[in-house]
Amino acid sequence: MRFPLGFSIAQARYMSSQRRQGRKRFPTVIMLEPLYTCNLACLGCSLERHTGKLKDRLSVEACLQAVEDAGVPIVSLCGGEPTLYPELPELVGELIRRGKYIILCTNALLLDKKVFGVIPPSKHLFINVHLDGMKETHDHVCDRPGTFDKAIDMIKVSKKSGYVTLTNTTVFKETNIEEVEQLCELLKEMRVDGMLIAPGYHYESVERDVFLTREDMHNRFKRVMELSRKYKISATPLFLEFAAGLRELACSPYSTVNFTPRGWKAPCYLIGEKYYDNFQTFWNDVDWAYWESRKDRRCSNCKMHSGFEASAVEVAQQSLKSMIQLAAWHVSG
Ligand code: SF4
């Protein structure tokens, strides 16, 4: 199975209940960023996500209210670096008590101090380690030597301690695709529970030229499609076809709503055109049809996983062939 059974059932139940209520658009994941503080300043990261002050972090109450307002079963805890959030054990405990599934997105540098031995393993908690290639590339992208070795050590401890352990790899211009295969092989040997491989996001605040051109992206993701037959890659087949330039998809930015220290970020994780304090105002005010259409110039090269994975699943459910392909993908790997 690509994902633990309980997680897949919770997600399927939630989606079918939303459809039964006749909702055309609904969020499936909240990307909750309790802080914009980080212990790294990676080359491809937006400026605000690693320059925020700890004192400006969200309270646990504000985080829980946001999850409640979004109503989703899955919380992707990101930021900033969530292990720097002093109230992390309390927040994770409260989310699990509410039956949520938590994907803790981390650079792994502080897992041994802030998570292992502090927050017990749970079927509801997934440790998701950022790993952008083998040693040289990852350390270059993170702009700090030693981050790759530390991440690999922490993945080993995570697996040994019984945590569901995933990895998240962004493909940049520097990323050599043979190296991605080498990384998949290494992670397979370490019995990692799932690997997300996705194209880099082109933030306007990132001035360095680290992102793939459209053609480069298509070529590399054709190879990632092949790798997904051999490794537990968690992007769906239709998303990978889209990343490889073999099909088009509308965007669904509403599927992964983003709550930050500045409020609800609209329209998406990438573009912060406006921030809202109130979820209902955010939801009703954003022109989702416009952002779905990808007419905006900032959308033209975007293949961001969080914008398009829900669209890929939606399309897969419209044809028998794609549904069979999706079901086979779920049980393989
Ligand atoms: S295409 Fe990309 S940038 Fe545009 S709304 Fe969707 S996720 Fe955001």
Q: Which residues line ligand 1 (CB under 6 A)?
A: 251, 253, 267-268, 270-271, 291, 294, 298-299, 302, 304, 307
Nearest CA to ligand 1 atom 5: 291
Distance 76 CA to ligand 1 centre (A): 18
Asked if residue 273 lies in contact with residue 267, where contact means CB atoms within 8 angstroms, the answer is yes
Cα end-to-end span (Å), the chain: 6
Indicate the top mutation candidate among 302, 303, 309, 311 to test ligand 1's pocket, ranked by most ligand atoms within 8 A of CB.
302
Ligand 1, residue 252: give the atom nearest the CA.
6
What pLDDT was estimated at residue 318? 82
Strand order in the sheet with 74-77: 194-199, 164-171, 125-130, 101-106, 74-77, 29-32, 256-260, 263-267, 272-276
CATH tag for 5-331 (out of 3.20.20.70, 2.60.40.180, 2.40.50.100, 3.40.50.620): 3.20.20.70
Ligand 1 centre from 28 Cα, in Å? 16
> For 114, left (φ over 0), alpha (ψ -120 to 50), or beta?
alpha
**pLDDT reported for residue 174:** 73
Residue 50 contacts residue 38 (beta carbons within 8 Å): yes
CA distance 13 to 19: 10
pLDDT at 328: 66
* 204, 211, 251, 273: residue to mutate for ligand 1 pocket, most atoms within 8 A of CB: 251
What's the confidence (pLDDT) of residue 210?
63
For residues 319 and 321, give the distance between their C-alpha atoms in angstroms, rounded to a whole number: 5
Instruction: Give one word for 291, left, alpha or beta, with left for phi > 0 and alpha for psi -120 to 50.
Output: alpha
Pocket test for ligand 1, best of 271, 290, 305 (most atoms within 8 A of CB): 271
Distance in Å, CA 301 to ligand 1 centroid: 9
Atom 8 (ligand 1) nearest CA: 268
For residue 47, what pLDDT is reported? 86
pLDDT, block means (10 residues), the chain with 333 residues: 80 90 95 96 87 95 98 95 98 98 98 98 97 94 96 98 96 85 97 92 58 83 94 93 95 97 96 96 98 92 90 84 68 60
Which of 122, 325, 82 minimizes the C-alpha distance to 225?
Answer: 325
pLDDT at 50: 87
User: Residue 308 C-alpha to ligand 1 middle, in angstroms?
Assistant: 8
Hey, what are 70's tokens? Answer: 């979004």
The residues near 17 (Cβ < 8 Å, ≥ 6 apart) are none
Distance CA 128, CA 14 (A): 23
Q: Whose CA is nearest to atom 4 of ligand 1?
A: 299
132: amino acid identity, one letter: D
Backbone angles phi, psi at 207, to 5 degrees: -85, -30
Return the exposure string of 135-161: e unless at least 16 CB atoms fall within 10 Å of the residue's CB, then b.
eebbbbbbebeebbebbbebbebbbee
Q: Structural domain boundaries of the chain? A: 5-331
Separation CA 279–CA 285 (nearest Å): 10
Please name the residues in contact with 124: beta carbons below 8 A apart, sequence gap of 6 or more: 6, 95, 96, 99, 100, 101, 102
CA of 201 to the centre of ligand 1 (A): 10
